[in-house]
Structure 1
């Protein structure tokens, strides 16, 4: 339906929406958006009924083109640097004026929605798109108001996403033609030159990462699920660590797969849906995600088997970052509303290609803060040209690129939550290598990892003996149901113990080097949680 005249222009609430464009569609249903995309020849349906589109030049985020307006509200509160790149208010104002003029004769799709399942902490987000499929993405990834809520809806934040608008870097002050700019004073996110939908999702995530700590809420880049007795587990992990696989447990309800807040009393999902990577997706490996890709879902940058409309999920011709967006209710075991209690167990997942870390270990509060700050995993040798051995990757708080404040602020807030809730268990889980580093050892069996995580959740590790790891000092259980005791202590799995010690010291040094960026602002408690060298370093 064409939006009513009286609905306000999100950029000027004293004017009707028709002052922005004469062709505006408001709060369209997924079915209507899919049909419009098909009519405009912007996508096709696959054999399961999902809408398949391509996002053009950009198939992922462009971190170097993501800016925050530097003004009185942010000059001392944002951690400026390579992650949070400053841009002047006048640059923002000029681009906003140009984008507003640009859309005067365009069709626009507008959606009022929420970010945050807990009404006490959610923010109202209005989105303006120039394609129906981008608006479909927003329907899935944000939370839709009820009809009654829509009557009283008041806009707080605005996403203005115009992929067709290209900036002139020499005139407009951007780095390239594409840009994503957050203005905390005006409460507007401008996105131009890129159709990649994840820029909208992560833009609002950055906003919540800035706002929620001011309300003593810890924003987290993690998945969450809930057991039948109401116990909540959180799963943090960078790409390739198994976060999606381990949190998608058919025996537990999914609260959310990517972004959550931890308030005084609740864990709550920021989103209304899932944005799942689907490269090499299969019904056997990820049955819940596979089944969720159906009528109404959005598939980005995938290819069909020749002569069919069946998706070849192994095809990375366009990108390896193929994605599926769908409502969380498409997951059979999803919890609605997406709110749970304070977590009982927290899992930090790492794919340690050095073969040093235990398959599972328990962390003290200080160690939890230290490893939260570290956000460690490893790129495997051979995955990129020129890499001859494992390459460490550190991303503070398991999502550094989305943190407007210094990471130590979030680690400190995590420590505060753990001190207030002493019964919360924090575990470090290595889903990487054992018996040697990559190329010599072998990948830890997913069956064993599942058994270790299950045992931790079911409190089967509560009464077993633990011993500290000789270098990282994390506590290693000495037995676990359905897991051979021989794999629990990583040094024991190496035939060459001296080689293990050398590799352990190498990884320890890399942790220490990474931590130097946080040392000055970190507490002495966190500093003391650093791993120790096994050998005397000359």
Structure 2
């Protein structure tokens, strides 16, 4: 619960004459452009730049060490503790900073499309375009819901307020601090809007398991027969692209919960990477960018205002934020049944994993816990080229609880609902990064389409001798030579060496899961 003092201070801030409450999209567009925060694209999207912070700042993220939550949090390099004293000091300073601003912008809405488990949130922004961002990304309340609205969590976002590490106890001028007890999130020193989205996701990853609901960093869609599919993967692996399918209805593109009733979207919008975006390759996403959408760090022509999605002079992590209803094929409301197919997406910079492989239950648990992928340029500060990494459950930066909590929940649900799991490599083929090339999206789409149709559940496979993965020998629309990664390399011996290198990294990383069953350790991982 928020203390009386904290609650009164916040109430005082929100009652100020400088506060704009629940502005409409046109009003926020007008504010953002008239205040010089952003420009308007030819399509009517708000185009903003985030300065030097063009991605998340994981080393500047903290959770307050509090009696009610400290024994639950998986403390470490991801969930870094900070004291209540530091939080209270920064909170007081931020309130003073925000109170004297000419204007503030407040959005009230929800995280979670299932009313039984949704979180009521309010976001206080210094920038109008940030408020437009959260308006489009979270679930917008009805007028009746607004009348009875009571926020469970509050975000205070002040990009122009910078911390002094020597005084404030932070690592840098930037900070993202979550207090589970006071139900407040402080974000300062960064203009990157994604910090607000991911902070709420972290909160949901903390709260939902308490109610037996698995929070997931994944996309989800549903076919004409009601068959639900999940797409797990970190930023840049293709979750948004592959789940936006003209032949299937989108449930959501990034964050979901899996309850006893099925799957529900946590958000009300999409936050798509738009580097090299084109109407030909990704028509759904391209068409979704319209009036009121937010383009982050996208370069536009100064005269025509037409976006140049191939221009990465600001960052490769260019983004588009838009409400989910901008996608034509969606489920309304964003809820569906239990998944029949689960796809793990990985962007393998080694270029050695098969483009698609069918997983046993043990392999599914192993690869979910491993969460192998490559961080792509621009998604985080300091990442300038693909970098191999293991991100537990394909969402380590957003998991406050121990990884095994989420893994055990996923394993139980896969078994209960007889879901088939596939590992799909959207990364490199024919060689590692710098030698090989990125997997052809056309082929990946064909493989995923066949998997969702159930056509790969019983097909003939061959075994990958290094990773023990079952690789289909033939898939409609995909050249046979693509399916076995070793055949795609000019030098088979070079493939073997690189594959063994990655297999060793898998084994070394998995040592940290000491409590995992021997079946998962021995049957799930590499065999050579």
TM-score of the superposition, structure 2-length normalised? 0.92
Contact 1:70 1:89 in 2 (8 A): yes
467, 481, 484: which one aligns with 1:489: 484
Aligned mates of 1:263, 1:293 — CA distance in 2: 31
Aligned mates of 1:175, 1:438 — CA distance in 2: 32
* Structure 2 match to 1:508: 503
* Structure 2 match to 1:335: 331
5+ residue gaps, structure 1, are 1-8, 382-386
SS at match of 2:523: coil
* Structure 2 match to 1:459: 454
323, 326, 330: which one aligns with 2:322: 326
Contact 1:471 1:531 in 2 (8 A): no
Contact 1:112 1:145 in 2 (8 A): yes
Counterparts in 2 of 1:366 and 1:103: CA distance versus 1, 3 Å? same
Counterparts in 2 of 1:512 and 1:193: CA distance versus 1, 3 Å? same
Matched, 1:369 2:354: no
* Structure 2 match to 1:6: none
Matched, 1:47 2:45: no
Pairing of 1:232-243 with structure 2 (within 5 A):
232-243=228-239
Pairing of 1:219-234 with structure 2 (within 5 A):
219-234=215-230
Contact 1:436 1:494 in 2 (8 A): yes
* Structure 1 match to 2:518: 524
Output one character per residue of 1:228-269: Cα deviation in whole Å (capped at 9) or x when no partner.
111111111234433322222111111111111111121111
* Structure 2 match to 1:60: 55
* Structure 2 match to 1:112: 108
Output one character per residue of 1:144-195: Cα deviation in whole Å (capped at 9) or x when no partner.
1111111111111111112222222222211222211000001110111222
The farther-off stretch of 453-462 and 9-18 is 9-18
SS at match of 1:94: helix
Contact 1:277 1:323 in 2 (8 A): yes
Counterparts in 2 of 1:34 and 1:443: CA distance versus 1, 3 Å? closer
Contact 1:361 1:477 in 2 (8 A): yes
Counterparts in 2 of 1:173 and 1:517: CA distance versus 1, 3 Å? same
Counterparts in 2 of 1:311 and 1:526: CA distance versus 1, 3 Å? same
* Structure 1 match to 2:283: 287
Matched, 1:310 2:291: no
407, 413, 420: which one aligns with 1:411: 407
Aligned mates of 1:301, 1:283 — CA distance in 2: 19
TM-score of the superposition, structure 1-length normalised? 0.90
Deviation of 1:497 after TM superposition, in Å, equals: 4.3
* Structure 2 match to 1:247: 243
Counterparts in 2 of 1:295 and 1:514: CA distance versus 1, 3 Å? same
Pairing of 1:424-439 with structure 2 (within 5 A):
424-438=419-433
**Considering only aligned residues, what root-mean-square deviation do their CA atoms show, in Å?**
2.5
Deviation of 1:477 after TM superposition, in Å, equals: 2.4
Aligned mates of 1:380, 1:100 — CA distance in 2: 36
* Structure 2 match to 1:102: 97
Aligned mates of 2:165, 2:458 — CA distance in 1: 62
* Structure 2 match to 1:124: 120
* Structure 2 match to 1:5: none
Contact 2:110 2:119 in 1 (8 A): yes
Contact 2:13 2:95 in 1 (8 A): no
Aligned mates of 1:37, 1:442 — CA distance in 2: 40
Matched, 1:469 2:464: yes
Aligned residues: 518
